[in-house]
Chains A and B, each alone.
Chain A
Amino acid sequence: DAGITQSPRHKVTETGTPVTLRCHQTENHRYMYWYRQDPGHGLRLIHYSYGVKDTDKGEVSDGYSVSRSKTEDFLLTLESATSSQTSVYFCAISQGGGTEAFFGQGTRLTVV
């Protein structure tokens, strides 16, 4: 498996609290992605990064922010969690172009 680790793997948090999910890679891949997976919606792109401090929004970026201060780490922050952000979050890495992406094991986030 590609060296990609998500933490935490599970989290329950209260509405209105900030939450940060971490994605760490040891592959030195240029691209890092955050997706959320929900029944009936498949995988939807939240934000992605194409280099240190270079990020862009995806399809469902409202309510989320990201940071990438080092090649190996890509953080996803929910500034004020809402119940609609209950989901499974996946991080992925790739070299871009025609190379395939590798996925982490996912983080199951529940906002109560």
Chain B
Amino acid sequence: AQSVAQPEDQVNVAEGNPLTVKCTYSVSGNPYLFWYVQYPNRGLQFLLKYITGDNLVKGSYGFEAEFNKSQTSFHLKKPSALVSDSALYFCAVRALTSGNTPLVFGKGTRLSVIA
């Protein structure tokens, strides 16, 4: 079975500082990995994904994530945080197989950017 762990329930960072939101995964075989963001009272919005190729992927709003196969991690990063980045962030994984596999999410990490 596939699973995602987001070890931090909350991450606090000062505006202008770099931010990292951690994600590790477990899956049989190779993964597809995703990051989503949720603003209050809204659905989830796609940020970026890793399928194959370059381990560093860039996404919306200046976010990027680094895939590390040996550590089974896919941490979300941004060089300079904005107050408007404050939201709930979810990591998700889907197994790369020929079968029908679902998209599984982590518990989420609440990011708070302080002015």
Contacts and interface: CB of A to CB of B under 8 A. Distances in A.
B108 A42 contact: yes
- The secondary-structure label for the interface of chain A is strand
B3 to A, nearest CB: 9
Contacts of B9: 40
Interface residues of A, number: 28
Contacts of A45: 102-105
B43 A106 contact: yes
Interface magnitude class on chain B: 20 to 34
Interface in B59-115: 90, 92, 94, 96, 100, 102-108
The 10 closest A-B pairs by CB, nearest first: A42-B107, A98-B51, A103-B43, A43-B105, A50-B100, A42-B108, A100-B46, A103-B44, A98-B32, A48-B102
Interface of B: 6, 9, 32, 34, 36, 42-46, 49, 51-52, 90, 92, 94, 96, 100, 102-108
